[in-house]
Structure 1
Amino acid sequence: MTLDSVKRALQSPDERMPFAELGMKEDEYQRVKEILGRRPTGSELAIYSVMWSEHCSYKSSKVHLRQFATKAPASEALLVGMGENAGVVDIGDGWAATFKIESHNHPSYVEPHQGAATGVGGIVRDIMSMGARPIAVMDSLRFGGLDQHDTRRVLPGVVEGISHYGNCLGLPNIGGEVVFDPCYIGNPLVNALCVGLLRKDQIKLATAPGPGNKVVLFGARTGADGIGGASVLASATFEDESQAKRPAVQVGDPFMEKLLIECCLELYQADVVVGIQDLGAAGVSCATTELAAKGTGGMAVDLNLVPLRDPTLRPEEILMSESQERMMAVVTPEDIAAFMAICEKWDVPATVIGEVTDSGRLTMTWDGEVIVDIPPGTAADEGPVYQRPFHEPAGQAALNTHVELARPDDLRATLLQLLGSANLSSREWVTSQYDRYVRGNTVLAQPADAGVLRISESMPGADETTRGIALATDGNGRYAKLDPYAGAQLALAEAYRNVAVTGATPLAVTNCLNFGSPEDPEVMWQFAEAVRGLADACKTLGVPVTGGNVSFYNQTGAAAIHPTPVVGVLGVIEDVARRVPSGFTAANLRVVLLGDTADEFGGSEWAHVAHNHLGGLPPRVRLDAERALATVLTTAAKRGLLAGSHDLSDGGLAVALAEACLARGIGAAVSLPGEDAFVDLFSESSARALVCVEAEKFAALAELCANNEVPCYGLGVTGGTSLTVEDILEIPIATLRETHQATLPAVFG
């Protein structure tokens, strides 16, 4: 059925309702009829179809996601949790941070530039809708193999879209990931994160209280782009004909979004906003139903008043359009004039399209005729909830069987092989296209382990605070494929550790859970295990989940991606002047390894690169050790003990040493603490970090480690122009750099 035929069916009471074409199941359609007591109008069906889509309603994931609330650790810092546009945490001195990560996967495959650009735009508006000024973005990206043709089509467009939108907004891109694996061919993952700042007493919520208050749609006009994006692209399996779905991809205008940011901030400052919601997935359908459901319970809207770019749009298309750069506000009648004057000042179109009622109904008219009359909560909050069947994949036991892989004799060649591999090579080709330092508040950015931002200068009136925030995102699809429970915990552990190595105390979590079809019991098992693992780990580490996103149907035909939970962690540092820089920062510093190493190579980069092998078990999760390590790192930073740091993860100690040398071109001479050089250098055991300290401060660091039961090994000293591992290898920094930097430019130019 074509889009035109769907439109005709929606408009004709004699045609069969095209619920299946809009992504609804037969029983879901029957439930809509039961709720309304009649056949829905075309506009009502449009609303329910997008609001009950997987992307908007979380109908397959809700039963599992509740663990993030039931297992949530006590947190005095949490101000707004799950259920709002973004979570908000208290970061001290009267300030709050809001952050969230979301996916824009399928649109970015169909139209890489616009898909990625509007992913950035959408997450920025989520942060704006909490009353905050967006101050930075990050992205977590995954593509097919570096040697696959479609990767060369998708990656440049995605990077260009992210850089174009973020750079035009003037938001620094301070970190993230770029991962390559054949499982993502045809299903790239484009997960975008944004963080914002606000005073803790100025939080805005998506609610529409007060009968008689006006409903204002402001920002860009509504067009035909993005129609059905939430249900067509993000809530169904992806097929080869996906290029035909280009009309469902939104088109972004970052310059309008920049005006919208400044306009919203002035509206908040003037205190003329009662409630606010951004228009993202499901567009007007979502904004009206969610605002009404969380407010007094009713809203009356005249769809003829919605400003259009295309005057031929029908009401169903207006309701389903996901045109970008739009917001919806609830404003008291006495504040309307001031609201409109501020919008006019910023050249942001604004139109009153309705008002709040106490009817308990969402009603909409078109050409004077009522075309929508529904209880808003049934669309926004009472969609279907599925207990999807799940079971362990048939081949899981075989996958987890340990296979002894041939280990190399030439460890020098192995390090260079890993350092130049697709996943461990320099990301400078990507990150150089992002402005990491715009606005002047970036303290640390890629390739540091986490991004760090100062609060003072980020916001007016913040000069009295020395505080900063740190952010990191991490995930490992290979680990999660081997064990989704442990894989999700390892993703959290790495992000938690990356925040801690900067000297910041981890405070809260957001996540983007990327999986295949929930209708596949084996995929659903992966999802259930990952959520259970993440919830358990958050409880143990004492960091609550503030919100996030679930992205299902990441597969083409029957081939699903690796389960890929991406975890973002936000931390706070009391004085940004005490942050710990990444890598070796001077000569004649002691090089110290924190944490113990075991023989752990399941899912490792070495097994992937050297043997193209995935099997066994991932590294053991050691959450108590992670917590102790974070305590050592943050305490040492406060005491000024650390001159530099770097976490150990993919590629193990060998890659960490090489990257620490490359940070400033400072070499090191070290010896290994164990008896097996290969294990010492390339194992990916968790809860480890590499630090450098002045010689006279080593004793204080060792005492701090002993008090927290964190193993501490002095490895050697920094200096010179080579990385030397005693009796094992010696590699000039120039060779390390040439190997590290050559890979991506050789492919993308």
Structure 2
Amino acid sequence: MGETSTSLHRELGLTDDEAAAIERILGRPPNHLELAMYAVMWSEHCSYKSSKIHLRRLPTEAPWVLVGPGENAGVIDAGDGIAVAIRIESHNHPSAVEPYQGAATGVGGILRDIFTMGARPIAVMDPLRFGPPDDARGRWLVEGVVSGISGYGNSVGVPTVGGELVFDECYAENPLVNVLCLGVMPKERLVLAKASGVGNLAVLLGSTTGRDGIGGVSVLASAGFGDAEEESAKRPSVQVGDPYEEKRLIEACLQLLDERLVVGIQDLGGAGLTCATSETASRGGVGMDVYVNEVPTREAGMEPFEIMTSESQERMLAIVTPQDLDRVLEVCARWEVRCSVVGTVTGGGRLRILDRLDGEVLADMPAASLEEDAPKYDRPRAEPVDRATRLADDPARLPAPADGGADLLKMLADPAWAYRQYDHQLFLNTVEGPGGDAAVLRLKAPGLPSTAKALALTTDGNHRWCALDPRAGTALVVAEAALNVACAGAKPVAVVNCLNFGNPEHPEVMWQLSEAIDGMGDACRALGLPVIGGNVSLYNESLGRDIDPTPVIGLLGLIDRLDRRPPGAQFVHGGVVALLG
């Protein structure tokens, strides 16, 4: 491999060994476009190359699980002909660079993960973590993230029903912005991100493709932060969202699914069109030809590698039969959603990028190699050298507070200023909103069968527990989430997780991650809970300092009869207080 190509693959985030593996797969040196496509798909964000071997240890099966890990969202059978989809994601690095758009597009992405499955999004939660808000940058991050979530969620019409707001010094340069979304659907509307049927059409729905978000998964989400100049250079990698386009896209896609006009569908998030085309083709065991000249662009002179790796928001890829295309165009026109045929399903399993139909082949690779052949690393693991000291630390040795009254007032400060910016009563399904143990939602949406059941939902995390003992700490977080849902009168039925950790190239971080996964597995097996999806966010570090290990647990519970759920805690004079457990 020549000096120029060596420099290029390193700039794209690939190691020398990974570049050599790509050359072996292709049987020749890759060109610029092919290298860019492998770089985004083999990034930490897309491939989970440092965590996949550990995630396999989690329990994922239960009789009520319809779709487990590996799809856009996990799905359970709620009974009465209703399925529930749930997903949690992170947008940590984009939010550290551009807090409003980073948080807003985090909401947009998680909504698409849900309606890609055929479910209507009905609720969002936002576990957030920041550094101390007493400096200008800290306030800018907090205010920007909260405004971004509320601005997007309120505009698209999905209520934010809960979350967390935590401040700690370890997040000062690297905030955590996690977003969970819940959706519901009739069971028969469930669809998977899979292409099939040679000759079927790949149809791009939604927004035009621009240069925003290029390199987001490989440049921004798969590396830590350095100095201010380096952070500023990453700003173009942050996507820009349009919630009104997203709302139209939701309605158009759900109508297409209701009318059985779609064979398979996938959202365009991280890695953009490269990810959507390769994953749908790979999962269906087929190939695909993509015509870059047919992709609607918002900027002149975009290169093929820019079109294929752009992460412009509010876009979906649908697989459609030729005979259904006219009706698909009619539905999209009704909702004012752009609709363009950009490719064709082929046999043979190869993903080819052409400049036009029957034109020059710009890239040619096995579709499965972009996902299935990504490297999987068993990185070195080592306990932190100060672990014994941390565990032996006696809290009694802490100095007495200089002003206990002032500290108490800080602890009692009401966080409602954050969640009151969110509309938690959209759809009028919210029985219990932000501020309680768990949100409670009526199981109701257009097109759903009638039911007396309801849902309970919570997110929980505790970085201090996990910094001391990641295995026990994560198990306790799962238990806390299960208790929160139970206190709302629900039976815990499924777990999703967002694993926020530092640099996986540090052995101490990999030890923390492995231990946390085992702690989650221990707790879920003890409680009979399947883990049906999740997200791993690594490289949460700044100037060489890793954040504390922060696994966030999202837990879904099912209430059999909403009218029979227990009342909330009510304290009356002379009442008896009992401690259980």
Same fold (TM over 0.5): yes
Q: Following superposition of structure 1 onto structure 2, how do residues 287-306 of structure 1 map, counting pairs within 5 Å?
A: 287-306=276-295
Deviation at 1:587? Answer: 4.2
Question: Does the 8 Å contact 1:197/1:459 carry over to 2?
Answer: no
Of the three residues 14, 17, 21, the one matched with 2:11 is: 21
Q: 2:558 aligns with which of 572, 578, 587?
A: 572
Offset at 1:392?
A: 0.3
**2-structure distance, mates of 1:232, 1:425:** 38
Q: 1:143 aligns with which of 127, 130, 135?
A: 130
Counterpart for residue 513 of structure 1: 499
1:144-183 equivalent positions in 2, closer than 5 A:
144-183=131-170
Q: Distance in 2 between matches of 1:171 and 1:582?
A: 25
Assess if the C-alpha contact under 8 Å between 2:82 and 2:448 holds in 1.
no
Quote the Cα distance in structure 1 between the aligned partners of 2:400 and 2:213.
55
Cα distance in 1 for residues equivalent to 2:131 and 2:550: 14
Matched, 1:559 2:559: no
1:690-723 Cα deviation digits (max 9, x unpaired): xxxxxxxxxxxxxxxxxxxx4xxxxxxxxxxxxx
Structure 2, unaligned runs of 5 or more: none
- C-alpha deviation, 1:206, in angstroms: 0.6
CA distance in 1, matches of 2:36, 2:5: 15
| Aligned-residue offset at 1:148 | 3.7
* Residue identity matched to 1:590: G
Task: Confirm or deny that 1:49 pairs with 2:39.
Answer: yes
Greater displacement, 474-483 / 196-205: 196-205
* Structure with the larger RCO, 1 or 2 (CA within 8 Å, 6+ apart): 2
* 1:433 match: secondary structure: coil
Distance in 2 (CA, whole Å) between partners of 1:591 and 1:524 is 47
Are positions 1:369 and 2:351 aligned together? no
Distance 1:466 1:416, change over 3 A: farther
Once residues 400 and 169 of structure 2 are traced to their aligned partners in structure 1, the CA distance between those partners, rounded to angstroms, is 28
Tell me, yes or no, if the aligned pair for 1:448 and 1:581 is still in contact at 8 Å: no
> 2:28 maps to which residue?
38
Cα distance in structure 1, aligned partners of 2:397 and 2:538 = 37
Aligned-partner Cα distance in 1 for 2:21–2:422: 47
Following superposition, the deviation at residue 311 of structure 1 comes to 2.2
Helix, strand or coil for the counterpart of 1:235? coil
Is residue 443 of structure 1 aligned with residue 428 of structure 2?
A: no
Q: Distance in 1 between matches of 2:576 and 2:496?
A: 33
- Counterpart in the other structure of 1:432: 420
Local SS of the residue matching 1:522 = helix
Structure with bigger gyration radius = 1
Match of 1:263 in 2: 252
Match of 1:334 among 323, 326, 341: 323
Deviation at 1:420, TM superposition (A): 2.7
Within-5 A mapping of 1:323-722: 323-366=312-355, 368-405=359-396, 417-418=407-408, 420-421=410-411, 425-456=413-444, 458-462=445-449, 464-584=450-570, 587=572, 590-595=575-580, 710=581
Q: How many equivalent residue pairs?
A: 576
Q: Distance in 2 between matches of 1:486 and 1:149?
A: 36
How big is each residue's C-alpha offset from its partner over 1:269-307, in whole Å with a ceiling of 9 and x where there is no partner?
110010000000000010000001011321111111001
Deviation at residue 380 of structure 1 after TM alignment: 1.5
| Counterpart for residue 215 of structure 1 | 202
Letter of the 2:24 partner, please give it. Answer: E
Change (3 A) 1:258 1:181: same
Cα drift, residue 490 of structure 1 = 1.4
- 1:589 to 1:276, Cα distance in 2 relative to 1, 3 A: farther
Q: Distance in 1 between matches of 2:436 and 2:349?
A: 51
- Aligned AA for 2:560? E
Question: Structure 2 counterpart of 1:400, which letter?
Answer: L
Alignment check: 8 A CA contact 1:150 1:186 kept: no
Contact 1:211 1:296 in 2 (8 A): no
Of residues 242, 253, 271, the one that matches 2:242 is 253
Give TM-score, length-normalised by structure 2.
0.96
Give the Cα separation in 1 of the matches to 2:198 and 2:537.
Answer: 36
Deviations 1:295-330 (A, max 9, x none): 132111111100100121100011111000000010
CA drift of 1:593 comes to 3.1
**Which residue identity does 1:302 align to in structure 2?**
Y
Give the direction of change, closer, same or farther, for the CA distance of 1:33–1:439 in structure 2 (3 Å limit).
same
Q: Secondary structure at the match of 1:459?
A: coil
Q: Secondary structure at the match of 1:493?
A: helix
Q: Distance in 2 between matches of 1:461 and 1:375?
A: 40
Q: Counterpart of 2:504 in 1: which secondary structure?
A: coil
In 1, Cα distance between the equivalents of 2:507 and 2:4? Answer: 38
Q: CA deviation at 1:46?
A: 1.0
CA distance in 1, matches of 2:217, 2:104: 16
Structure 1 stretches lacking a partner, 5+ long: 1-8, 596-709, 711-749
Change (3 A) 1:150 1:14: closer
Correspondence for 2:73 among 53, 66, 86:
86
What is the CA–CA distance in structure 2 between the aligned matches of 1:482 and 1:285, rounded to whole Å? 40
Residues 417 and 555 of structure 1: CA distance in aligned 2, closer, same or farther (over 3 Å): same
Taking a change above 3 Å as real, the CA distance of residues 123 and 461 of structure 1, as seen in their structure-2 partners, is: closer
Deviations 1:511-548 (A, max 9, x none): 00000000000111000100111011111111100111
SS of the aligned residue for 2:535 comes to strand
Q: State the 1:23 CA deviation.
A: 0.5
Amino acid at match of 1:59: K
Letter in 2 for 1:256: E
CA shift, 1:418, in A, is: 4.0
Q: CA deviation at 1:150?
A: 2.1
Q: Does 1:66 align with 2:56?
A: yes
Distance 1:223 1:407, change over 3 A: closer
Question: What is the percent sequence identity of the aligned residues?
Answer: 52
**Farther off after superposition, 265-274 or 294-303:** 294-303
Aligned alpha-carbon RMSD (Å): 2.0
Deviation at 1:414? Answer: 6.1
Partner SS, residue 72 of structure 2: coil
Shift in alpha-carbon separation, 1:176–1:404, aligned structure 2, 3 A = closer
1:318 aligns with 2:307: yes
CA distance in 2, matches of 1:114, 1:31: 36
Q: TM-score, normalised by structure 1?
A: 0.75
Per-residue CA shift, 1:459-512, capped at 9, x if unaligned?
A: 3343x3111111100000010000000111111111111111100110000000
Matched-pair contact (CA < 8 Å) for 1:296–1:360:
yes
SS at 1:201 equivalent? helix
Give, in whole Å, the separation in 1 of the partners of 2:387 and 2:25: 42
Q: How many Å apart are 1:16 and its aligned residue?
A: 5.3
Return closer, same or farther for 1:453/1:34 CA change in 2, 3 Å cut-off: same
Partners of 1:215 and 1:356 within 8 A in 2: yes
- Please tell me whether the aligned partners of residues 133 and 142 of structure 2 are also in contact (alpha carbons under 8 angstroms): no
| Matched residue SS, 2:234 | helix
Query: In structure 2, what residue type is equivalent to 1:592?
Result: V
